[in-house]
Amino acid sequence: MSALLSVGAVTVLFDGVTALSDVSFDVNQGELLGLIGPNGAGKTTLLRVITGVVRQTSGTVLLDGRSLDGLPTHLRIRRGLALSQQIVTPFCGMSVIDNVALAAGAKKTASPVKALFHTRRERELKIGGELLARLGIESQANESPEIQPMGILKRLELARSLALVLRLLLLDEPLAGLNSKEARLLADTITEINRGGTTIVLIEHNLGEVLRVCHRLVVLDNGEKIAEGEPETVMNDATVRAAYLGTGAAAQAGERHAAA
């Protein structure tokens, strides 16, 4: 396996506060990597560094061995990144399928001139329809996103990401706000997408699902990487338990887990 994404010694300072400190890890081709850590650990900041929304103070990010540093967000997306955001952001002025078709039209929206001279979108609607079917929300295709429940919107967000020319899918808490059944179904869908050949980085607080679906975990705490490896090994790591539950509480965690 070769590294598709390589995060090298990334440090981010916000007005002197260290948000990320010397974080390095690789995401391998075809992998489903879980990026976990307590609130405020720096997971979302790291995702923003990868997509170029936040510029790192030092360090480098490589996709396919090519540096992404200094590239604006939209060009990184065109290199093959896709971001599914924590807070869903559908365009409510267009139908569900139009949302996906817009993402599928990347070639036609590459520049204003190209966009001005293209009107047809049969191909994009077809891709949109297929993706909606794949995610099981095809019956909502022509409805407004405004009236959809969270479960549908999370899937729409995912469909829109999949419509892009995709090498690496970054998922920021896709399961948040879903009940356990919905979360389990969506986690299954994510696994299927990964089996289809898409490399995925999953940020998620739902540890049960993370442990069930992820191949490997990277754990952040206070802006530092504190562990990396197989899910079970990582979760048995004392540092990780302490980070999640506080020192001293780590021991009780086992009991609570058993009780649940």
Partner 1 sequence: MEYEISLATTMAISVLFALSLNMITGFCGQISLGHAAFLGVGAYTSGILAKAGVPFLLTLPLAMLLAGALGVIVGFASLRVRADFLAITTMGVGFLFVGIVRQQDVLGAEMGISAIPDTDMSKLAFMLFAVAMAAATAVLSAYVRRCWMGRVFAAIAEDEDTVRVMGIDVPSFKLTAFALGTALAGLAGGLYAQHLKFIAPDSFGFIESITVLSMVVVGGIGSVIGVTVSAAVLSVLPSWFQVIGDYKLLVYGGLLFLMMRFSPGGMAALVTRVFHPDRWGAK
Q: With binding defined as CB under 8 A, does residue 14 bind partner 1? A: no
Residues 152-171, mask of contacts with partner 1 (x by CB under 8 A) = --------x---xx------
Q: Which range in 1-9, 25-33, 109-117, 252-260 contacts partner 1 by CB under 8 A?
A: 109-117
Distance CA(123)–CA(109), nearest Å, equals 14
Distance CA(96)–CA(172), nearest Å, equals 21
Phi, psi of 256 (to 5 degrees): -60, -40
Smallest CA-to-CA distance from 5 within 72, 85, 81 is with 81
To the nearest whole angstrom, how small is the minimum distance from the Cβ of residue 50 to partner 1? 11
Q: With binding defined as CB under 8 A, does residue 111 bind partner 1? A: yes
Q: With binding defined as CB under 8 A, does residue 85 bind partner 1? A: yes
| Amino acid identity, position 115 | A
Do 186 and 178 form a contact (C-beta atoms < 8 A)?
A: yes
Q: With binding defined as CB under 8 A, does residue 114 bind partner 1? A: yes
- Please, which residue, 72 or 246, has the CB nearer to partner 1? 72
CA dihedral over 151, 154, 155, 156, signed as positive or negative? positive
Give the interface with partner 1 as residue ranges (CB under 8 A).
51, 72-75, 77-78, 83, 85, 89, 91-95, 98, 102-103, 105-106, 108-112, 114-119, 121, 143-144, 146-147, 160, 164-165
